[in-house]
């Protein structure tokens, strides 16, 4: 449940019986008490996970006097004591130890949430989906998961590799980037404006591909469409 809903440890701790609804072959879970006060819901569809949730619920003591969903499991049975926030935070580490994973101490209480959002970002989900899943008001944190997504970096690498195949060589790509004379580039132009003497606007434009120079009434406008270097005949007057 922590992984499916990208839940914080306090959200799992405070989860109540009324927050969980069983509907046909899915489970709908509400997370009303959140750090950002943004109520959210998530759905569990995996049959194995649903069966585990139902089995856990079935062994809940009938004399439990509180509504907290997660109660302590000890010696093969559940007792009425609710799981506290510190115990909840240690659960990922216990799972890592059971699975004999390396460095189990690194699996903190934030592990469920971080893993859920990271896997969502790696699957190619957009910012809105990730933001809604994590319940963030701001986009900053969600953007961070997307930026660090390994899958996104792989996609970028694939795009660059595909682009290189469309040219005869890497030299051709670099040459095209620095010598293209097309000015219809989608890259925004860097525009430099200045005043020069109306009688003197002799500008040297040799070896300046991708640059458009306009002069009018003593003013010069230079549009640069790439990062190539250029020089003026008299830089002091511009």
User: pLDDT for 105-129, tens place per residue?
Assistant: 999 999 999 899 888 888 888 888 8
Give me the pLDDT at residue 191, please.
40
Residues of the chain with pLDDT under 50: 170, 173-174, 179-208, 228-238
Give me the pLDDT at residue 135, please.
85
Give me the pLDDT at residue 18, please.
94
Q: Give residue limits of the domains in the chain.
A: 9-152, 181-237
Give me the pLDDT at residue 82, please.
96
Give me the pLDDT at residue 204, please.
44
Give me the pLDDT at residue 50, please.
94
Mapping DSSP onto H, E and C, the string for the chain reads: CCCCCCCCHHHHHHCEHHHEEEECCEEEEEECCCCCCCCEEEEECCHHHHHHHHHHHHCCCCCCCCCECCEEEECCEEEEEECCHHHHHHHHHHHHHHCCCCCHHHCCCCHHHHHHHHHHHHCCCCHHHHHHHHCCCCCHHHHHHHHCCHHHHHHHHHHHHHHHHCCCCHHHHHHHHHHCCCCCCCCCCEEEEEECCCCCCCCCCCCCCCEEEEEECCEEEEEECCCCCCCCCCHHHC
CATH architecture type of domain 9-152? Orthogonal Bundle (1.10)
């Amino acid at each position: 449940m922590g992984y499916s809903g990208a839940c914080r440890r306090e959200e799992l701790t405070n989860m109540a019986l009324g927050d969980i609804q069983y509907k046909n072959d899915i489970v709908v879970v509400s997370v009303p008490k959140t750090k950002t006060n943004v109520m959210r819901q998530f759905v569990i569809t995996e049959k194995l996970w649903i069966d585990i949730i139902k089995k856990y619920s079935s062994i809940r003591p009938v004399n439990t006097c509180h509504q907290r969903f997660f109660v302590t499991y000890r010696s093969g049975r559940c007792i009425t004591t609710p799981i506290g926030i510190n115990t909840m935070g240690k659960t990922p580490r216990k799972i890592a130890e059971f699975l004999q994973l390396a460095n189990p101490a690194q699996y903190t209480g934030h592990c469920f949430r971080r893993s859920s959002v990271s896997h969502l970002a790696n699957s190619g989900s957009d910012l809105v989906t990730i933001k809604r899943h994590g319940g963030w008001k701001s986009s900053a944190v969600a953007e961070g998961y997307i930026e660090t997504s390994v899958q996104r970096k792989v996609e970028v690498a694939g795009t660059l590799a595909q682009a290189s195949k469309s040219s005869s060589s890497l030299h051709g790509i670099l040459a095209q980037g620095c010598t293209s004379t097309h000015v219809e580039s989608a890259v925004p132009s860097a525009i430099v404006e200045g005043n020069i003497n109306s009688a003197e606007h002799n500008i040297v434009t040799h070896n300046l591909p991708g640059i458009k120079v306009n002069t009018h009434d003593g003013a010069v406008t230079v549009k640069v469409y790439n990062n190539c270097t250029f020089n003026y005949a008299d830089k002091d007057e511009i």
